Structure 1
């Protein structure tokens, strides 16, 4: 767990904190607690939106990806990016909603300004950016 300061840097620099994630869905509670501690300076509703993104991206990596996995929170004033790495080469993609899932990336889309993925020769990184200057629960600006 991170022992770093819990606020965004004022100097425009991006602060990065990372956590290695074990190969177990039960790990989601630990990831959520870690992220909640790192982001405890955010207002409650905004922190809940970010934690939903953290959980969804991590859950997808645990269900559909391959170990090792790592989650990173990149932050500077007014901006946060959640990144989750795994070693599966298959791209992340939304699936049709059903009784067993398929809603998560739609929720991520609803609370982020953008999300996507970077393919690497050793796997992928799925990322989502969050505008921390926007009021929680409001729609992000349309993507261009």
Structure 2
């Protein structure tokens, strides 16, 4: 893996998620290595959104799974994309896993400038875009 290059207006790095349990610590480390140019607050927000989206892909989706980071220097955003092979709908604010769950998408909604779901024949991609200062786009 190489760090995201700010000279490329839209650089993408990807990480396949082959494990049976979510490798959250490894995903957070990977994101920190890729997003070296962000401020600490921007990086914390990105890692939190990545954690929530990857956790949802494991809790509610099926494999294969992958996570991508796409940085756009000209737009000043980091786009986080998490794929899984399930076509199931997302539930905002509720979880089938119990009453103490279900806040992941609420957190994503509060931190991301915009987010959504793209369906495709192999499942879905849940994405979120977080703003980052133009001078802090990863490099």
Tell me the TM-score normalised to structure 2 length.
Answer: 0.85
Give unpaired runs (5+ residues) of structure 1: 135-144
Give, in whole Å, the separation in 1 of the partners of 2:22 and 2:85.
20
1:6 is displaced (CA, Å) by 4.2
1:60 is displaced (CA, Å) by 0.3
1:5 is displaced (CA, Å) by 3.3
Q: Contact between 1:23 and 1:62, CA under 8 Å: does it hold in 2? A: no
1:7 is displaced (CA, Å) by 4.5
CA RMSD across the alignment: 1.9
1:41 is displaced (CA, Å) by 1.8
The 4+ residue runs of structure 1 with deviation greater than 3 A are none
Give, in whole Å, the separation in 2 of the partners of 1:118 and 1:5.
26
Query: Hey, what does 2:137 align to over in structure 1?
Result: none
Alpha carbons of 1:79 and 1:26: their partners in 2 closer, same or farther (altered >3 Å)? closer
Is residue 19 of structure 1 aligned with residue 15 of structure 2? yes
- Aligned positions of 1:28-67 closer than 5 A: 28-67=24-63
Give, in whole Å, the separation in 2 of the partners of 1:6 and 1:83.
15
Give unpaired runs (5+ residues) of structure 2: 135-139
Higher relative contact order (CA 8 A, sep 6+): 2
Give, in whole Å, the separation in 1 of the partners of 2:132 and 2:28.
19
Give, in whole Å, the separation in 1 of the partners of 2:40 and 2:113.
19
